[in-house]
Amino acid sequence: MADPDQTDPTCDVCAALVVQRAECYRLRDLSGVVDCNVEIRQHPHTEVSR
């Protein structure tokens, strides 16, 4: 599954959201996947060129 944006591999918050999103995807909880994607996008340091 592709990341909505690049995440910072050194950030604990990003790492936790990626794991949570993968678990939601595994459980077929697409609403949870979307919620994680939104949180990843809105996380302050993910402002990288798209």
Backbone angles phi, psi at 40, to 5 degrees: -65, -45
What pLDDT does 46 receive? 45
Q: Specify the pTM.
A: 0.75
Tokens encoding 6: 């690049």
Greater confidence, 19 or 48? 19
What are the distances in angstroms from CA 13 to CA 3, 26, 36?
14, 20, 11
* pLDDT tens for each residue of 3-44: 556 788 888 998 999 999 999 999 999 999 999 999 988 888
User: Which pLDDT does position 5 carry in this prediction?
Assistant: 62
**What was the pLDDT predicted at 23?**
98
Give the integer Cα–Cα distance in Å for 50 and 38. 15
